[in-house]
């Protein structure tokens, strides 16, 4: 009989994959590949898919480490993306009206539709979801048990 934690863990992985597919489709539909920095999200998502595929095939502690590394990359890329989107919006708003006060500038930047300042945070969320999947994964516990057995 399968434990509910196994079902929950598989559901989290399925949500992660669906989310990665959705973000990839959205980026492609928005032509988010016009510069080198715009291609970085595609590379980080590809890395995540490779790590997930490896884990699906091997199910090892090493593949869980691969997932953890790729998810940390997603978190970093998402946070850097938020900063880059914010900076781009801020420069645009200051070009339109250089006299904007700090608060007025902030609200205009955050309300800008292109590029949406917080959109890259979705990648960071997916990275956190992947880290939740890998948290205390049974494959890492089994590997830890084996390593501890070798020491005795």
Four-point Cα dihedral 14, 18, 24, 27, nearest 10: -140
Rg of the chain, C-alpha, whole Å = 20
Dist CA 129 CA 135 (whole Å): 10
Which residue shows structure tokens 């489709």? 25
pLDDT at 114: 84
> Could you report the average pLDDT of every consecutive run of 10 residues in the chain (152 residues)?
81 97 96 93 98 96 97 98 96 94 94 91 97 93 53 36
What size, in residues, is the chain? 152
pLDDT the model gives residue 144: 56
The answer to whether the pTM exceeds 0.95 is no
For the chain, the structural domain boundaries read: 4-80+121-140
State the pLDDT at residue 115.
87
The burial of 126, by beta-carbon neighbours within 10 Å (0-12 exposed, 13-18 middle, 19 or more buried), is given as buried
């Amino acid at each position: 009989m399968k434990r509910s934690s196994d079902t929950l863990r598989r559901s989290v992985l399925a949500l992660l994959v669906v989310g990665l597919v959705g973000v990839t489709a959205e980026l492609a539909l928005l032509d988010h590949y016009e510069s080198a920095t715009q291609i970085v999200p595609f590379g980080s998502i590809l890395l995540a898919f490779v790590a997930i595929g490896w884990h699906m095939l091997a199910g090892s502690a090493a593949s869980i480490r691969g997932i953890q590394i790729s998810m940390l990359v997603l978190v970093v890329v998402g946070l850097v993306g938020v900063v880059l989107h914010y900076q781009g919006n801020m420069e645009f708003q200051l070009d339109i009206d250089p006299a904007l006060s700090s608060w007025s500038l902030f609200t205009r930047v955050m309300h800008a539709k292109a590029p949406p300042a917080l959109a890259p945070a979705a990648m960071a969320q997916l990275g956190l979801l992947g880290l939740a999947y890998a948290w205390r994964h049974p494959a890492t516990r089994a590997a830890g048990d084996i390593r501890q057995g070798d020491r005795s």
